[in-house]
Structure formats: structure tokens, C-alpha cells
Amino acid sequence: MEKRSGQGGPAFQEDEEMEEEDKAPDMEAWERAYADDRSWESLIEDESGLLKAGDDVQQQRQHRRRLIQASGPRIQRGIIRYLCLILDFSRAAGEIDFRPSRMAVVAKAVEDFVREYFDQNPLSQLGIIVMKNGIASVVTELSGSPEAHIRALKSNLESFGEASLQNGLELAHTYVQHIPSYGHREVVIVFSALSTCDPGNILETVKKCKAARMKCSVVGLTAEIYICKHISQETGGSYAVAMNEGHLKEILLEHVPPPAAMPDASSASLVRMGFPQRGSEGAVAICACHKELRIGGGYICPRCRARVCELPTECSLCGLALVSSAHLARSYHHLFPIPTFDELLVDASLRGKSSFAGSCFGCRIQLSGGGSLRLRCPRCKRDFCFDCDVYIHESLHNCPGCETLQEEAVT
């Protein structure tokens, strides 16, 4: 079991992971948990003889390296995404090397992913396809409601038969064909199996997907598979294999931020959108999405006055994209991200100088003591600790230093 950085990520289920089915005869189960983990090896003794758990700074660097890779220069991003999630519920998904089973772990990770996806991409849509028994079937059509997806997925948890990537991709291909041209077509495949059992030549299908500008990414659960690598390379997607449950979530969540806009889709086009008002409490109306009588709540389409239950969505009568202004605002930070902070190397000769004596601008923790990286915002030149850096970049999307500068400028 590889040790991974724990900061900011979800809780690790390492203990569960340890209960693998192999029974080494000369070691008790609880012993093996430690033998595999080797947590004592990462203990470090500092000058005063105190033990510290692991090399914090190294782990922090590792975490940041991923952030830096993800950010890059300011780029045009595709805010309006149509993402097809293809889940593999073949026989291999019933394996129990992830507890309780790969399928259950995938379902849980997907649930988190769906919520996070709609949270960060309110203007986007998502659909779920499941591969099992050699065929691919639609679980949910492309739509904007996280709860509906999660509900449908939970009622669909069975695994048997073979997986067929070709069928999955073909289905996704028909699915994304009538997406408007400004939408980003993405496919994320969560693949448990080690082989794909196809009716025809999958390489042709890959070519077709490439021609349709579908970006296919694969998240593997077991090992690197050549065809998955091929698919992702050809279509410009990414390929990653999960080490454990935590890592699976992590790599799945990497698909949450909107991708860079495709170079040939750069023609700026205006998209007609409606900003519906919330219906008054107690008003009785026939809901356009459920086709039944509902009392109170809901939103009224500004064009055709139909009532819809949730935002964002497409009005089922007039087809207008319905969003709230908050959704647009939340998508905004992807377009203008805060710059990544620069790491300042703490040099012994500089330690005495005033600029290095300070504390974190965010939480006022002392930075000179070590144990945390010292990070500086390139715009406002304020220093932050590692935890604040993560918070600012992953949740807040505002730099407190720059904000105060602006305030000062105003006053």
C-alpha cells in the first residue's frame, strides 16, 4: 500500500484495504496491516528527539505538484460540458479487492463526483451509461439534476457478464451527436475489467469518436490496459489507474474542473439562456418535468411560463436553457483562476531577514518554524501556509491578499 498525502482528500479506508484475501501463513492479519503500511519508516526524529509523522514538506510538495500541473496558464475553458459517464458493471466489478466490492466503491465515488461536478459546473449536463453482460445500456439521459442520476445509479447496482468498451463508446457516440456545437463532449469511463469483449473492431469506433470530437478519459481500477491508453491518447483524454479507494476518488474528481476549450471550437457563439424566477409558495402548477401536480416551489421559465422543479435544466416545453445567476457566477472562477502561489525556499541565510519572519496571511500561523511550505501569491506578495493555499485554490477561489489590496485601493 502506497502512502499518499492525506491533506484535503477524503478519509482513507486503508484499514479496510488491508483485509485482503491473501492469508500469509506466518503473519497475523493485524501484523500484515502494519507490515504493508510500514508507517514507522516514515517517522522522522527531529533535533530535539521528538518523533514526527512523515516528511510533511515532501507530501505537501507532491500535492502542490498536481495543482500546478492542473492549473497552467490562463486558458479558455469549456464551461458548458456534456459528460457521458460510462461505468463498467461487468463480472470484474464484483471483485472484492476493494471493499465491499469494486462496484460499490465505484458507485460511491461516482456519487461524490456527480455532486461535485454539478457544484462546479452548473451549466453542464451529465448522463450515465452502464456496461454489463456484453452490452451497454443507458441509466440516465443527459440532464442536469444530480439527485436523479444518483437515484438511478443506486437502483442499478448489479454486476455480471463481460464489458464491451466498443458498445459503450458507440452508445455514447449516438448520445452526444445532437449536442449543440458549443458544448464540450466528454466521456469518462470507469473501468474495472481487464479486457473488453467487442462485437467488432474497436479501433474503428475510436476513430469515430475522435472524428466526433469526443474526449474520452479512462479511470482504471486494476491495471494499465493498452486499449484504454490508446483510447485516451487518441481522443485527447487522460488515463489513470486507482491505487486504492481514496486515490480513485481523487482521480475521478480530477475530471470535475472544466477542461481546456478545444482549439477548433473557439468560434464564440452566443447561447440563449433563461433566468427563471422562483415560483411563489403555495402556488399550484403542473410540473413540466414530472408531468404531475405540484404545490409551491419550482421555477417558472421566463419564455413559456412552464414550471420546472430544479435548476439548471432545459425547459422541457420550449427547450430554453434555464440557469440561475449563481450558477454562472460559480463557473466564472474557472475562467479567471487565482495564480498558483510560488514556493519560497527557506534559506538559512535569509531566515533572519524581516520578510521571512512573518506569519501566514490567512491564518496567522508562524511560518518560520518549518513543517509547512511557505507560499507567496505572485500578485499581492503575501505569504501563506500550505493549508491556506489548498483552501484558497480549491474552495475559496479568491486570494485574501489581493482582495484586501483592492479594498485599500478603493478607500
Report the interface residues with other proteins, using CB under 8 A: 1-2, 20-25, 92, 97, 162, 165, 194-198, 201-203, 220, 222-228, 230, 240-243
Question: Cβ closer to other proteins: 65 or 364?
Answer: 65
Question: Cβ closer to other proteins: 161 or 302?
Answer: 161
Cell of 317: 416545453
CB of 117 to other proteins, least distance (A): 23
Question: Cβ closer to other proteins: 220 or 279?
Answer: 220
Instruction: With CA atoms as reference, report the closest residue to 146 among 307, 306, 312, 299.
Output: 312
Cell of 311: 435548476
C-alpha–C-alpha distance, residues 155 and 87, integer Å: 14
Question: Cβ closer to other proteins: 192 or 340?
Answer: 192
* Dihedral sign for Cα atoms in the order 139, 16, 38, 64: positive
Question: Cβ closer to other proteins: 194 or 295?
Answer: 194
What DSSP letter does each residue of 251-296 carry, written as one string?
A: HHHTTSSPPBPPGGG-------EE-PEEPPTT-EEEETTTTEEEES
Cell of 182: 458549443
Instruction: With CA atoms as reference, report the closest residue to 339 among 295, 282, 402, 254.
Output: 402
Instruction: With CA atoms as reference, report the closest residue to 82 among 210, 194, 180.
Output: 180
CB of 19 to other proteins, least distance (A): 12
C-alpha–C-alpha distance, residues 185 and 174, integer Å: 12
C-alpha–C-alpha distance, residues 272 and 80, integer Å: 13
CB of 250 to other proteins, least distance (A): 12
CB of 265 to other proteins, least distance (A): 27
C-alpha–C-alpha distance, residues 281 and 93, integer Å: 45
Question: Cβ closer to other proteins: 94 or 297?
Answer: 94
Question: Cβ closer to other proteins: 95 or 310?
Answer: 95
Question: Cβ closer to other proteins: 21 or 281?
Answer: 21
CB of 196 to other proteins, least distance (A): 4
The sheet with strand 292-295 has its strands ordered as 277-278, 299-300, 307-308, 284-287, 292-295
Cell of 160: 455480471
Given the C-alpha cell 472524428, which residue does it identify?
211
CB of 242 to other proteins, least distance (A): 7
What DSSP letter does each residue of 6-35 carry, written as one string?
A: -TTSPPP-HHHHH--S---TTS-HHHHHHH
The sheet with strand 383-384 has its strands ordered as 342-344, 374-376, 383-384
CB of 226 to other proteins, least distance (A): 4
CB of 199 to other proteins, least distance (A): 12
